Amino acid sequence: MTEPILQLVDCTRVHGQGETVVRALDGVSVQILPGELVAVMGPSGSGKSTLLNLAGALDLPTSGHVVIENQSTSTLRPDELAALRRRRVGVVFQDLNLIPSLTAAENIGLPLELDGRRVSEARRAAVGALHELGLDELADRYPDQMSGGQQQRVAIARALVGERRLVLADEPTGALDSVTGDGVLAVLRARCDAGAAGLLVTHEARHAGWADRVIYLRDGKVVDEAVAR
């Protein structure tokens, strides 16, 4: 049986205490298999960001477990958590994705270099990642020499470089026009079809349409789920 890349098991995240307590996430269970793209929808304050932070090991659940490729985040020391994030998890935000002073290839190779790989090895992996996405010509361009859509596609390449198989995307199409945004989502979809696991937070039903499953959150709970036919 295929092992999930990401599992959230009965996760609750509580902020504050006493009268100011907020249950940002309340008993949520989600698992994502290799090849799956799961979208999360919900209004502001529904727990989407909290779920993303737990899934990316940026935060720990108050109760329950988050398991990323068989490693429970609650059992790791801070340095081990940092290594897990570096090696296993890629994140694509709405903006501020790429470092302006680095080329696309350097940006993509950076996580590998931070993890102790040689520069030449990181470069090879980065160029390979760009090639897979048909973005070869961007390798030596700086972010300000790329369009917004190209930058986001490079960001997805970076999110899944090396051994990373989990990509978390928070409204990755941002202010891009609809056609360019589709191109970014098509790349995310392609990476998942190639075996990655994706978690996409979005307000747009249209974007959620790219996912295999759509989870609806409200007040920290999963209240609905839609599966592709």
Partner 1 sequence: MSVPLSLLALLSQGPAYGARIKAEFEARTGHAFPLNVGQVYTTLARLERDGLVVPDGGPDDEGRIPYRLTDVGAQQVSTWWESPVDRSEPARDELVMKLALAVATPRVDAQAVIQRQRAAAMSHLQGLTRAKLALTAPGQPPQPASIPTPTTLSDQVVLEHRLYAVEAELRWLDHVEELLHRAGPAPAASAGPAPAATPPSGPPSAAPASPNFARPAPSDTRH
- The residue ranges that bind partner 1 (CB under 8 A) are 20, 22-24, 41-46, 132-134, 149, 179-180, 182-184, 186-187, 189-190, 203-206, 208-212, 214, 216, 218-221, 223-229
Rounded to a whole number of angstroms, the minimum distance from the CB of residue 193 to partner 1 is 9
| Identity of the residue, 58 or 226, whose beta carbon is nearer to partner 1 in the bound complex | 226
The CB-of-86 to partner 1 minimum distance in angstroms stands at 27
Q: How far is the CB of 28 from partner 1 (least distance, A)?
A: 15
Q: Which is nearer to partner 1, 53 or 84 (CB)?
A: 53
3-state secondary structure the chain: CCCCCEEEEEEEEEECCHHHCEEEEEEEEEEECCCCEEEEECCCCCCHHHHHHHHCCCCCCCEEEEEECCEEHHHCCHHHHHHHHHHHEEEECCCCCCCCCCCHHHHHHHHHHHCCCCHHHHHHHHHHHHHHCCCHHHCCCCHHHCCHHHHHHHHHHHHCCCCCCEEEEECCCCCCCHHHHHHHHHHHHHHHHCCCEEEEECCCHHHHCCCCEEEEEECCEEEEEEECC
Smallest gap, in angstroms, from Cβ of residue 29 to partner 1? 18
Minimum Å distance from CB 9 to partner 1? Answer: 22
Q: Among residues 40 and 68, whose Cβ is nearest to partner 1?
A: 40
Minimum separation from the CB atom of position 133 to partner 1 (A): 7
Alpha carbon 154 to its chain's center: 14
In the complex with partner 1, which residue's Cβ is closer, 99 or 223?
Answer: 223
If the CB atoms of residues 82 and 205 are measured against partner 1, the closer one turns out to be: 205
Among residues 12 and 84, whose Cβ is nearest to partner 1? 12
